[in-house]
Amino acid sequence: MTSDPAFSTNGTREPGACDGAAIDVLVVGAGVNGAGLFRDLCAQGLTCLLVDKADFSAGTSAAPSRLIHGGLKYLETGEFGLVAQSTLERNLLLRNAPHCVKPLQTVIPIFSWTRGLWPALRTLLGSTTAPRSRGAVLVKIGLALYDFYGARSRVMPRHALIGKARALRELPGLTPQIVAAGTYYDALVTAPERLVMELVRDGLADSPLSSACNWTDLVACQDGTVTFERESGERFAVRPAIVVNAAGPWIDRVNALLGKPSHLIGGTKGSHILLDHEELRRRLAGRMIYFEADDGRICLVYDYLGRIMVGSTDIPADDPDTVRCEAEEIDYFLACLGRLLPGLAFERSQIVYAYSGIRPLPASNATAPGLISRDHSAPIAEPDAGRPFPVLSLVGGKWTTFRGFAEEVADTILARLHRPRTRSTRELPIGGGRAFPLDAAQRAAWIGQVSRRTGLDDERVATLLDRYGTTAEAVAAHRGAWTDAERLPDAPEHSCAEIDWIARNEMVLHLEDVVMRRTTLAVTGTLSARTIEAIAAVLAAALGWSPDRTTREVATVTQRLVQRHGMRL
């Protein structure tokens, strides 16, 4: 640990230490695309600053379907290049982040044999009407193409088409109106917000002179100097050679602050709900149902960490600061589930969490949101009077392709800075994915070694390994004011000691950072008022909060969880 005052207690460079300095790249926006680019650039030895007006991964990147998928539905709109890239990146993530990216067997209920061929062909040729009623022939063609594009670095089985009797036997309760079902594999990310945090930490480890700061506002841009203000009121400024606007749905607002107004984003709203429904969880048996609603929209339902994830809507919207899952969207989800699984009961009382986000899609005049491209681009605003640096705006993109997108943009930046690429991220493990045990024997050996080193029993080490990957060793070895035996009330699988480790090592500034992003306690509905107060007490001790500050933090996060996410605390 360095004693340099320019560094914080967790070994990262304080942003104020670079006040007035010339840096290579400023990245505004710390969602998955911004964090992914930050990691790539830092891996090349560049000096970078990553800034977000809220917490890391607090915006769109915290509101996905939590799928790492190849984009099966993009085949219908002819985005074959995007499917090829997405399936490759999915396969790479399964290798590079095996601690939090897992295979997900998927079932597509099919309600006819030949329906949808002509509408799909018209969509492929440029029709502005979204396709509906995808029959078995169309699904078979799509899955065969999906396997073809996913052949690079393949790690999962190929698709299959099964008959009605087998489908109803394997998924009891599925509507008998089906004629067949398709099966294939995609993947899910168990903790997307933690994965973003790991990207940031990896970048800081690779480039000690780089910095990352959350809860920091961009306040001015003048004559090549960009000024920021932290919540404390402290201001600092940098002189970047290149600026990257990775603010997602806030891109146009940030460009205005940078002196280059734009109209690049035309997003859509995606909402999700999580249910406490043990019977459906048992019937799904680890599979996802990827199905077509009556209006032609694609929906999904799967077991996410013991809860049932249901999503998603696709509604034109452009205000990411006020977006929430509305009552009519909840009604839509429950009605869709009722038709798909008519023998099961679905009601609002089963909802433990709801969330919504704005997809930062490119501005479009498409008549149907589903026809707006999910591909990405990085338009460049060249330097002009009063702004000597170019601004690259990261438009579109999705969770699955963040690494590939980052690589493309990083190569553009390196070329402009006349710097060579010294390291590829294609095979680079992320955070707790480093040296992750991949089979039962390796897992048992790793757990045994860490258990002996830390004194925790094998079962506890296994839980931490599943939660943090190989970073679990540092969590298990942490010794502070709490022991591992001291657990959070109403959330006993989490200890006060691990919350203390998070507070001291993962750039926590607010209670919501831990409750909503460094852990999955909120999204899985594993919270009570007592749990929140216990976490706040740990953070207060670690971060030096006053009693008044602690009370305010509890009140703020409780209000947000109740009003924005429908929790009952």
Query: For the chain, which domains are there?
Result: 15-60+193-265+374-416 (3.50.50.60), 99-190+267-366 (3.30.9.10), 437-565 (1.10.8.870)
Average per-residue pLDDT in the chain?
90
pLDDT confidence bin for 10, thresholds 50/70/90: very low
**pLDDT for position 472:** 98
pLDDT digits (tens, 9 = 90+) for 283-306: 999 999 999 888 878 899 999 999
CB 303 within 8 A of CB 281: yes
Q: How far is CA 345 from the centre of its chain?
A: 30
Full-prediction pTM beyond 0.85? yes
Asked which of 213-222, 337-346, 359-368, 428-437 is least confident by mean pLDDT, the reply is 359-368
CB 394 within 8 A of CB 146: no
pLDDT digits (tens, 9 = 90+) for 385-444: 889 999 999 998 889 999 999 999 999 999 999 999 999 999 999 999 999 999 999 999
Asked which of 130-139, 336-345, 545-554 is least confident by mean pLDDT, the reply is 130-139
Higher-confidence position of 388 and 71: 388
- Rounded mean pLDDT, 441-448: 98
Helix-helix angle 32-43:192-206, to 10 degrees: 20
CB 503 within 8 A of CB 542: yes
**Total residue length of the chain:** 569
**pLDDT for position 200:** 98
> Tokens representing 345?
């009961």
Taking the C-alpha atoms of residue 308 and residue 300, their distance in angstroms, rounded to an integer, is: 10
- Tell whether the torsion through CA atoms of 140, 145, 148 and 153 is positive or negative: negative
Taking the C-alpha atoms of residue 261 and residue 264, their distance in angstroms, rounded to an integer, is: 10
Asked which of 158-162, 195-199, 240-244, 330-334 is least confident by mean pLDDT, the reply is 158-162
Higher-confidence position of 476 and 118: 476
Determine the 3-state secondary structure of 219 from DSSP.
strand
Taking the C-alpha atoms of residue 98 and residue 475, their distance in angstroms, rounded to an integer, is: 18
Taking the C-alpha atoms of residue 476 and residue 483, their distance in angstroms, rounded to an integer, is: 10
Asked which of 88-102, 307-321, 494-508, 551-565 is least confident by mean pLDDT, the reply is 307-321
Helix-helix angle 80-96:402-416, to 10 degrees: 100
Taking the C-alpha atoms of residue 103 and residue 120, their distance in angstroms, rounded to an integer, is: 28
Determine the 3-state secondary structure of 548 from DSSP.
helix
Phi-psi region of 286 (alpha: psi -120 to 50; beta: other; left: phi over 0): left
